[in-house]
Structure 1
Amino acid sequence: MTATVTETPSDVVAAARHVAATLAEHADSVDSEAAFPAASVAALHRAGLLAPVLDRSLSDLVAIAAELGKACGSTSMIWAMHQVQLACVARHHGGSAPLRTALKDIVVDGTLIASVTSEAGIGGSLRTSGAALERHGDRVRLTKRAPTVSYGAYACAYLVTARRDAQAAAGDQIAVLAPADACALTPAGPPWNPMGMRGTCSPGFEFHTEVPAGYVLTDPFERIASATMVPLSHLLWAACWFGIAAAAFRRAQQAVRGRMRGNPDLVDPRLAEAAGRMDQMEAALAATARRFEPIWADPGAVDEHGGPTLTLAVNNLKVTVSTLAVDVAVAALEICGMPGYAEAGPLSVARPLRDLYSARLMIGNERLMNANARLSLWKRA
């Protein structure tokens, strides 16, 4: 099944639309207080929506992310990040009994896995690590300084990247699932007070863990990243941004409809331009999901269906949607005028716009375009 955002909803997508009311109820306080959306995450668990990545299609996952994004950008992004970490463990544990048990407990308990892939001093490169795994008999230790760990203080486990050992090259990486009770997190850096996506609670931490060696994922991180983490992240992040943009677009529609009640000629052509950008984002999501589908069905298919063409596709999706979503929100602001500029009110687009400006920074667009420029040197026209 290919992913479109407007197809007839499945049961889980219908559930997402229902639970979105709870997310919307808490969204303003989550934003104003930069607070973790505990009530919204609990509602997702009660609705059976914290682990659909384990048995649902890309179509469902993209649609759920979009529905949640319409209600609360922060909660939708937390959900998306958690799905990615779950998928990495489920698809690459290599049969490890400790990892299978940990995964089952996380799903049953409705708790979250956070990502500790960022690292100070490596320039934001996912595929580079400075920290190295230390092996002590049947246990491993790891210390790492991460400039951002989304919902790190609220997770029950962490998926952490590092060099295989102290002699390994920076790109010879592994991933470790570290339960929270085996970790020590010390705040590192300024308090969390960002412009948008405030409820993701993503400050920096000095991270230390010691766990049994069975918690190291079997596949090398290079394979985990190419078959699961990178393409799924870009798909689900983009779907969240699409949903946030859809919320802003709806407010623009509402503003124009209100004006047209008094004068039917007061239609606004900027609404048509924004609608075109929404269509572009939806088409990009569907096309990229189709490109990723064989690998989603079988991670081993990355050898045949991955490589530079997939990298180009997912990078282009991220850059395209992170740019167009902001364009839609800006258009909505201009259409709504001062009611859109207000922090509160039925036409306010302040929170969607602030949330969406984070999209260009989550793996910087310039970095991705530089990578795509190099790959495009060998692209067949």
Structure 2
Amino acid sequence: MTTEGTASVETALGEALAAIEEERDTLAEGAVRADRDAAFPKDSVEVLRRRRLLGAGIPAAHGGLGLDLPALAEIALRLGELCGSTAMIWAMHQIQVHALVRGAGKQPLIAEALRRAAAEQQLIASVTSEAGIGGNLRESRAALEPLGAGYEFTKHATTVSYGEEADAYLVTLRRGTAAAPADQVLVLARADQVRLRATGAWNTLGMRGTRSAPLELRGLVDAGQVLDEPFGAIATRSMVPVSHLLWAAAWTGIAAGAHRRAVHCSRARARTALRTGAFTPDPRLGRMHAALRALVDGVRQFAGDHARWERAGEFDGDLTARANALKITASEETVRVAVLALEVCGMAGYSEDGEFSVARHLRDLYSGRLMISNDKLNAVNSEVLLFGDDVLA
């Protein structure tokens, strides 16, 4: 990236972070309502639209802010501190945008979809889960079926985050009814091209505002809405590593929110203790800070490295192993930070109400271990270590 381009990104990022700070109260209040009611955070997402943050990762040439992955990670960190569900919704939308950008250079309908998404601040959802595949992203049962000049499909998805609120969907499908389960394509379907049928409810421990209920989707799309690049290549270079990065950033932001509450709680107690002369610093604050600092540094390091790999076209086993390791570490260590915050705040943290409550933070963070099983990712990394190159070189 040129010096001028870097300056432009830094300016846009600064403006985005300032906008989030100005909307802090709305986002924080929305987090409480979304968690309490298991409701989509409409007001918070409207803030993202009004501030044009849904177009953060869309290239400037298509009307977006043109932010790179390091900048997107910073936004996910900040949003996560205020509302975990909003941060995850925003992150998952940006993951879909990133997957589309490469195709936009070669496919007119994809380019037009990105321009429209930027102009209208549309929200794009992912439909990669499916009944009967056991959580395997790289296989599909549903298939494209030719119909006239386009294709139709029916897919039974086990989770579709904010599916009933989305303006468009990126759907994984077999290339055709005779194709193997791993012969997948990625299809962009507009909301007006899809019929939805809810097949289950969403009443969960955490991340309640993402509204990730199971859905049946029946769609009819034009041939130009099928991305030319095979899904396996898109997953390797974009969807998997960017998912792990932006998820990790959002979770780290949630942990930072819990840490902040623990610090404020400790300060309130310290003021009282100092007046009585009985002040003793709590070492758990130091442990929390050290763990959180390592998480933030890990997110920023991977974001910068991925941006470099992307420019050089270096998508190999090292990228996969690093992305998996980041996701595993973030999903486990952020919980540890939140648990320490709970211990520091005590009953004030255990309560669902009050300025020192970290109950929502802890519940939201437990979802990270389930968003692609850590055991599966450890198995993948074990295979890379056994049969691949030295990933620590």
Q: TM-score, normalised by structure 1?
A: 0.94
Partner of 1:331: 340
Indicate if the aligned counterparts of 2:57 and 2:72 stay in contact, CA closer than 8 A. yes
Partner of 2:174: 163
Q: Distance in 2 between matches of 1:113 and 1:73?
A: 18
Aligned pair 1:344/2:358, yes or no? no
Q: 2:260 aligns with which of 218, 238, 250?
A: 250
Indicate if the aligned counterparts of 1:118 and 1:146 stay in contact, CA closer than 8 A. yes
Task: State the percentage of identical aligned residues.
Answer: 48
Partner of 2:288: 274
Partner of 1:106: 117
Q: Distance in 2 between matches of 1:282 and 1:69?
A: 12
Q: Which runs of 5+ in 1 are unaligned?
A: 2-6
CA 170–94 in structure 1, closer or farther in 2 if over 3 Å, else same: farther
AA in 1 matched with 2:91 = A
Indicate if the aligned counterparts of 1:17 and 1:68 stay in contact, CA closer than 8 A. no
CA apart distance, 1:136: 2.5
- 1:67-117 Cα offsets, whole Å, 9 max, x none, are 111110001100000111112112224522222222222221122111110
CA apart distance, 1:266: 2.2
Indicate if the aligned counterparts of 2:153 and 2:218 stay in contact, CA closer than 8 A. yes
Q: 1:224 aligns with which of 226, 229, 234?
A: 234
Partner of 1:180: 191
Indicate if the aligned counterparts of 1:19 and 1:44 stay in contact, CA closer than 8 A. no
Stretch of structure 1 that moved more, 137-146 or 283-292: 283-292
- 1:108-145 Cα offsets, whole Å, 9 max, x none, are 11221111100111110111111111123411111111
Q: Distance in 2 between matches of 1:107 and 1:257?
A: 43
AA in 1 matched with 2:37 = E
Indicate if the aligned counterparts of 1:92 and 1:224 stay in contact, CA closer than 8 A. no
Secondary structure of 1:318 counterpart = helix
Secondary structure of 1:162 counterpart = strand
Q: TM-score, normalised by structure 2?
A: 0.91
Partner of 1:4: none
Q: Which runs of 5+ in 2 are unaligned?
A: 2-9, 59-65
Q: Distance in 1 between matches of 2:141 and 2:99?
A: 21
AA in 2 matched with 1:11 = E
Aligned pair 1:124/2:124, yes or no? no
Secondary structure of 2:379 counterpart = helix
Q: 2:55 aligns with which of 51, 72, 76?
A: 51
Q: 2:302 aligns with which of 288, 303, 316?
A: 288
CA RMSD of aligned residues (A): 1.7
- 1:243-290 Cα offsets, whole Å, 9 max, x none, are 100000011111211221122432111111111110110121122123
Q: Distance in 1 between matches of 2:280 and 2:266?
A: 7
Indicate if the aligned counterparts of 2:57 and 2:67 stay in contact, CA closer than 8 A. yes
Q: Distance in 1 between matches of 2:78 and 2:296?
A: 13
Secondary structure of 2:172 counterpart = strand
Indicate if the aligned counterparts of 1:10 and 1:60 stay in contact, CA closer than 8 A. no
CA apart distance, 1:149: 0.3
Q: Distance in 2 between matches of 1:368 and 1:133?
A: 29
Partner of 1:196: 206
Q: Distance in 1 between matches of 2:103 and 2:229?
A: 6
Q: What is the aligned residue count?
A: 371
Indicate if the aligned counterparts of 2:248 and 2:326 stay in contact, CA closer than 8 A. yes
Secondary structure of 2:216 counterpart = strand
CA apart distance, 1:57: 2.1
AA in 2 matched with 1:25 = E
Q: Distance in 1 between matches of 2:69 and 2:197?
A: 36
Secondary structure of 2:159 counterpart = coil
AA in 1 matched with 2:368 = A
Aligned pair 1:375/2:379, yes or no? no
Indicate if the aligned counterparts of 1:133 and 1:142 stay in contact, CA closer than 8 A. yes
Q: 1:236 aligns with which of 211, 232, 246?
A: 246
Partner of 2:95: 84
Partner of 2:40: 36
Aligned pair 1:135/2:146, yes or no? yes
AA in 1 matched with 2:360 = R
